[in-house]
A and B are shown apart, each in its own frame.
Chain A
Amino acid sequence: MTATAPMKTPMDLRTHYLGMHLRTPLVASAGPLSEDIGNIRKLEDAGISAVVLYSLFEEQITKERLDLNRHLNAGTNSYAEALSYFPEPSQYRVGPEEYLEHVRRAKEAVAIPVIASLNGSTDGGWVAHARDLQDAGADAIELNIYSIATDPDRTAADIEQSYVDVVHNVSDVVTIPIAVKLSPFFSSLANVALRMEAAGARGLVLFNRFYQPDIDLEELEVVPNLLLSTPQAMRLPLRWIAILRGQRGLSLAATSGVHWAHDVLKLLMVGADVTMLCSTLLKHGIDTVRTIEQGVVEWMEKHEYESVRQMQGSMSQRSCPNPTAFERAQYIKTLQSYRPSGR
């Protein structure tokens, strides 16, 4: 008689996000990889459970249109011999057609949900394009609506209200779910989350990372400088997801600093429905998705977890043994425990 090993049941990694059923909590966040349909296919093959497409920017729709009009008409009627400098086209595509086409092609190419991303901060005409994204086949929309507020006459309340208006207006024109990608820079993030939900958001993506400008010392110029995230960046979404998990019924996505399996596990434990990957895929390649999933499964097996749902929220502020730890900004014990090395 030969002994046979018991059939191993695949780990249950399923999760819900914005009402969608996903195979795993690993989602590709908005980034340059999704500009290429081939990469989206590779992401699906590697096991990603949904993909957020690169962002369609408000300025792409409005500024580009204005620029095109301005430059194509510059000098018109200035000289008797040259009343214009370009042929008059019969039809222009100055909206988000290219992006919409990309959404359509992505949907045709893969079976996983495709989430379109809209990036802007004013309640302008661009908001109406959310409907076009839905018609193009997007399964959900991620709204990225933060801008750097520099006008001293605008209060925080004014700015927050304008964001709420954007969410409200988008939710008015679409039936697919909307997630709002927020920055951590609000005086009362918990209140903002509440208002976003009331305006129609089904989920929050925490947090947005911004290009922080750098200085070119030789040219004396301010230059945009993209720094990929490091694993340390996940501490901020970790804290806020832990806090919000107990307060709201919204879907919560963790993004920023999600690099390896243990980052994913920690974020799931504090209450993330999904974890979004970007920098790690850019740094280490698309196949990292497999490594992370395998790492998550191995850890769960080793620690005898049955499913992702079992661990989701288990370490949130509401469920963890020391909830005040998530609220303390200055921790005497932590500060005093650090000792400089060396002399």
Chain B
Amino acid sequence: MDVCPAKNKSETRLKALNMASQPPLREPERDNWNFFLTLPELDRRLIKISSIRQQQVQEPLFEFSGACSGCGETPYVKLVSQLFGDRALIANATGCSSIYGGNLPTTPWTKNAEGRGPAWSNSLFEDNAEFGLGFRLSIDKQRDQARHLLVGLASQLGDELVTPILEAEQKTEPDIFDQRERVEALKARLREIDSPDARFLLTLADTLVKKSVWIIGGDGWAYDIGYGGLDHVLASGHDVNALVLDTEVYSNTGGQMSKSTPRAAVAKFAAGGKPIGKKDLGLMAMSYGTIYVASVAMGAKDEHTLKAFLEAEAYDGPSLIIAYSHCIAHGINMETGMRNQKAAVDTGQWLLYRFNPERTLRGENPLILDSRAPKAPLEQYLNMENRFKMLGKTHPDTAKTLFAEAQRDVTARWRMYDYLASRTTEGGAE
């Protein structure tokens, strides 16, 4: 329970959540669990979702996955499910997330008391972005058709019902809630009208509530096998959100090197340490200027992660979130993986930033560098992880060279991002 911040004031080894031997607790906790399930969920409209302390109360619609204990990916997936799960469509690339996300015949994806939950499906490695784009195009077409029918039926439905539905902004939870109420009212009215258009609109009415499309996968998908498709989809301009669960290695198939694997890391196909640096996927996406791009690490700054997810979803266009995900294939203590995330950010190995094209429209620099200048040498982080450390045990001379080069990578990358984030933009703002 490394991440639980609430400590017992009389016995500080205890926290609000504690690990304990399970067998003696099963029976008593069964009753507690059943009681817990009877507690009503908080009204989503009352939760300030921009505050992590409040947001985490949102009901997760992803639970009991088959991931490794301490998995670094699942907290991000859970976050998506909490924030947008009741109106999300998820295209999941093949990889760890498709296995723990679809450990058939069960599924960790679930629904809330109203019966709403994410629609989820798994595609191939090489076409997941396109698969998700298909969701978006299909929904948009259905929504356009619904709006067209709604306008046509306005005289029978009444402007007081139709106009608010057509003009709803749906930017906040209360907005979404109100739109759902209006759509329910619309559906009730449609059932009273005996016409082909009314019956057709009844099948499409739910698309009038804003849907959130998420394209999820690992770095093997995003950096390597599915990269061409991801690039194509991001360049299409459509409103999709790509979430890259970046473990910097092919985790599900047993730790093969990907183009995300950092310099000096030992992986299969890089037993002597990866000799070249990590591909900068975020920078490549930023070069379009029209894609929302964020690089996050929940263990380093959870509020920043939350902000990036909210901004990405709110951005009316393609978004890319690259999320540092510690992994069993890093050779680390998975109980304290969040500390590794923090160390990665503190040493500059992983940058926190947000690139929001909407800022450009306001004359502002679109890039905000959210991490501070490295405050510790990179080696401090590298020595926390056996994927780097083992290089010193197997190829000590190579380790020295690659560690030094990795430090130079980090320094140069920080300087470049610092420059990009601080330069004066065309509009004159810093």
What is the interface of chain A, defined by CB distance below 8 A to chain B?
Answer: 67-68, 71-72, 74-75, 78-79, 81-87, 89-94, 97-98, 101, 220-221
Contacts and interface: CB of A to CB of B under 8 A. Distances in A.
Nearest to B386: A71
B271 A87 contact: yes
B309 to A, nearest CB: 27
The 4 closest A-B pairs by CB, nearest first: A82-B254, A87-B271, A85-B255, A85-B329
B328 A85 contact: yes
Contact of A83 (B254, B328, B390, B396): B254
B266 interface: yes
Given A72-B331, A75-B68, A220-B12, A86 B390 contact: yes
Interface in B377-430: 386-387, 389-390, 392-394, 396
A90 B266 CA distance: 13
Given A68-B386, A68-B389, A72-B386, A85 B394 contact: no
Chain B binding surface, main DSSP class = mixed
Contact of B394 (A75, A91, A220): A91
Interface in B317-336: 328-329, 331-334
Interface string B1-20: 00000010000100000000
A75 B328 contact: yes
Given A72-B331, A72-B386, A89 B394 contact: yes
B305 interface: no
B111 interface: no
B252 interface: yes
A71 B383 CA distance: 13
B255 A86 contact: yes
Contacts of A91: 394
Nearest to A83: B254
A94 B393 contact: yes
Given A86-B255, A98-B392, A98-B396, 9 more contacts: A68-B331, A78-B68, A86-B268, A86-B331, A86-B390, A87-B267, A91-B394, A92-B394, A101-B396
A254 to B, nearest CB: 34
Contacts, number: 76
Contacts of B329: 85-86
26 contacts: A68-B386, A68-B389, A71-B331, A71-B332, A71-B386, A75-B68, A75-B328, A81-B252, A81-B253, A81-B254, A82-B251, A82-B253, A83-B254, A85-B255, A86-B331, A86-B387, A86-B390, A87-B269, A87-B271, A89-B393, A89-B394, A90-B394, A92-B393, A93-B392, A93-B396, A98-B396
Chain A binding surface, main DSSP class = loop
B79 to A, nearest CB: 24
Contacts of A220: 7, 12
Interface in B104-139: none
B275 to A, nearest CB: 15
Interface of B: 7, 12, 68, 99, 251-255, 266-271, 328-329, 331-334, 386-387, 389-390, 392-394, 396
A91 B332 CA distance: 21
A225 to B, nearest CB: 17
B257 to A, nearest CB: 10
Contacts of A67: 386
A114 to B, nearest CB: 21
B255 A84 contact: yes
Contacts of A87: 255, 266-271
Contact of B266 (A75, A83, A86): A86
Contacts of A86: 255, 266-268, 329, 331, 386-387, 390
Contacts of A74: 328, 331, 334
A67 B331 CA distance: 9
Given A71-B333, A74-B334, A89 B255 contact: no
B225 to A, nearest CB: 15
Contact of B393 (A68, A79, A81): A68
B93 to A, nearest CB: 15
A219 to B, nearest CB: 8
A72 B396 CA distance: 18
B5 to A, nearest CB: 9
B331 A93 contact: no
B9 to A, nearest CB: 8
Contacts of A98: 392, 396
Contacts of A84: 254-255
A83 B99 CA distance: 15
A78 B69 CA distance: 12
A141 B329 CA distance: 39
A93 B395 CA distance: 9
A79 B255 CA distance: 12
A83 B332 CA distance: 17
B217 to A, nearest CB: 16
B396 A97 contact: yes
A321 to B, nearest CB: 54
A78 B396 CA distance: 30
A91 B331 CA distance: 18
B328 A89 contact: no
Contacts of A93: 392-394, 396
B400 to A, nearest CB: 10
Contacts of B255: 82, 84-87
A85 B252 CA distance: 9
Contacts of B7: 220
A94 B252 CA distance: 28
A221 B7 CA distance: 10
B180 to A, nearest CB: 40
A182 to B, nearest CB: 31
A4 to B, nearest CB: 56
Given A81-B254, A82-B255, A220-B7, A72 B328 contact: no
Contacts of A97: 396
A37 to B, nearest CB: 13
Contacts of B333: 71
Nearest to A84: B254
A270 to B, nearest CB: 42
B96 to A, nearest CB: 9
